[in-house]
């Protein structure tokens, strides 16, 4: 079956399912919508492990009753004494950042990469920004402190949430790279509801379910809200044609850029190609290795 046709079939199935449940119980429809919102695509676990990952030291930690699995590499060059953590996005996995691992170890960095709950090698069936935030905090406490973090999409939003929680004890020389972050959860929520044609009553209840996760409103989950509050340097790279995390959502930090932020706009790379781009990788490595930026 053609991928676009398959996607339409799946979307059609869930539209019908949520509409049917909603007629019987709007509360159950909202709970079902939330589970779907937090469930990665099946492909999140299917990719074959690259050879570089077979050479890594396997590490793990418990997070909320789940075993989260990761990989650890030491420097392939003269060690620079610094550690970097790689944080992947929704329905992705750490394997997709293989090139970053190679570049970082060549520069002398010690590198860690973990699969989020419900992704890759890790346990679980669902993920949300708070669970991912807690995972990053756990990794920081168990394997850090990290001198740099490279994060994409949901991983980037979750990283900002984690750094906000850890802002007091965190090393001010730490550098954070946000690549196409899930900037505003309100946008993702509205897009999801529109795509599945979720009616107003169920949408309102669905929003309440999300808000109960951390007793915070939807606009709490905002990279543009958090970045100006962080006591560290941030490199934010975002594509103008990003169809998943819209470029328009970055307007607040572009119009009034905080002193700790470097913002780079690309054009034509979209949401996923952006972190594979050679020049983007070079900019990330330069940021992390430039002592003047710290």
In a domain, residue 99? The reply is yes
Are 31 and 162 found together in one domain? no
Closest CA to 152 of 284, 46, 39: 284
Instruction: Give the model's confidence band at 168: pLDDT under 50 very low, under 70 low, under 90 confident, else very high.
Output: low
Residue 251 within a domain: yes
What mean pLDDT is predicted for residues 23-45? 82
At 25 the pLDDT is 81
Residue 230: alpha-carbon gap to chain centroid: 17
Tracing tokens 């196409």 back to the chain, one arrives at 180
Quick one: average pLDDT of 195-214?
A: 90
pLDDT at 58 over 50: yes
Give pLDDT tens digits for 173-184.
899 999 999 999
The position carrying tokens 């590490």 is 59
pLDDT score recorded for residue 290: 86
Q: What is the mean pLDDT of residues 69-97?
A: 93
pLDDT reported for residue 8 = 60
Are residue 152 and residue 211 in the same domain, yes or no?
A: no
Q: Are residues 25 and 87 both part of a single domain?
A: no
Distance CA 191, CA 82 (A): 39
Average pLDDT in the chain: 89
The CATH number linked to 167 is 3.40.50.1820
Question: Minimal CA–CA distance to 85: which of 167, 97, 193, 77?
Answer: 97
Residues 176-195, mean pLDDT to the nearest whole number: 94
Q: What's the pTM value of the predicted model, to 2 decimals?
A: 0.91
Total number of domains in the chain:
2
SS3 at position 188:
helix
Residues 89 and 3 both lie in one domain? no
Closest CA to 284 of 147, 163, 179: 179
Residue of 152, 147, 70, 133 whose CA lies nearest to 104: 147
Is residue 10 located within the same domain as residue 153?
no
For the chain, the distance separating the N- and C-terminal CA atoms, rounded to the nearest angstrom, is 50
Same-domain status, 112 and 207: no
- Residue numbers of the domain that contains 227: 47-184+221-293
pLDDT class for 2, splitting at 50, 70, 90?
Answer: very low
Q: Are residues 216 and 165 in the same domain?
A: no
SS3 of residue 55 by DSSP = coil
| Measured distance CA(275)–CA(97) in Å, rounded | 8
Band (45; pLDDT cuts 50, 70, 90) = low
H or E segment to which residue 177 belongs: strand 175-179
């Amino acid at each position: 079956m053609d991928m676009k046709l398959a996607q339409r079939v799946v979307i059609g199935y869930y539209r019908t399912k949520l509409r049917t449940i909603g007629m019987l119980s709007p509360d159950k429809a909202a709970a079902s919508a939330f589970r779907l919102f937090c469930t990665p695509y099946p492909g999140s676990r299917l990719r074959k492990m690259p050879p570089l990952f077979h050479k890594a030291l396997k590490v793990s930690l418990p997070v909320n009753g789940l075993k989260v699995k990761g990989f650890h590499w030491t420097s392939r060059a003269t060690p620079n004494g610094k550690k970097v953590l790689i944080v992947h996005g929704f329905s992705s996995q750490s394997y997709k950042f293989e090139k970053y691992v190679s570049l970082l170890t060549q520069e002398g960095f010690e590198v860690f990469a973990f699969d989020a709950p419900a992704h890759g090698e890790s346990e679980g069936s669902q993920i949300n920004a708070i669970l991912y935030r807690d995972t990053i905090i756990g990794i920081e406490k168990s394997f850090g402190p990290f001198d740099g973090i490279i994060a994409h999409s949901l991983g980037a939003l979750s990283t900002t949430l984690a750094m906000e929680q850890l802002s007091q004890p965190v090393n001010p020389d730490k550098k954070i790279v946000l690549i196409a972050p899930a900037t505003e959860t309100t946008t993702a929520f509205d897009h999801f509801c529109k795509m599945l044609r979720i009616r107003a009553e169920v949408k309102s209840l669905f929003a309440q379910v999300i808000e109960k996760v951390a007793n915070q409103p939807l606009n709490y989950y905002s990279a543009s809200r958090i970045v100006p509050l962080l006591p560290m340097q941030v490199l934010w790279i975002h594509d103008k044609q990003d169809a998943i995390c819209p470029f328009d959502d970055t307007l607040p930090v572009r119009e009034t850029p905080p002193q700790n932020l470097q913002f780079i706009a690309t054009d034509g790379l979209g949401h996923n190609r952006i972190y594979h781009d050679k020049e983007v990788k070079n900019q990330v490595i330069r940021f992390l290795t430039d002592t003047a930026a710290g």
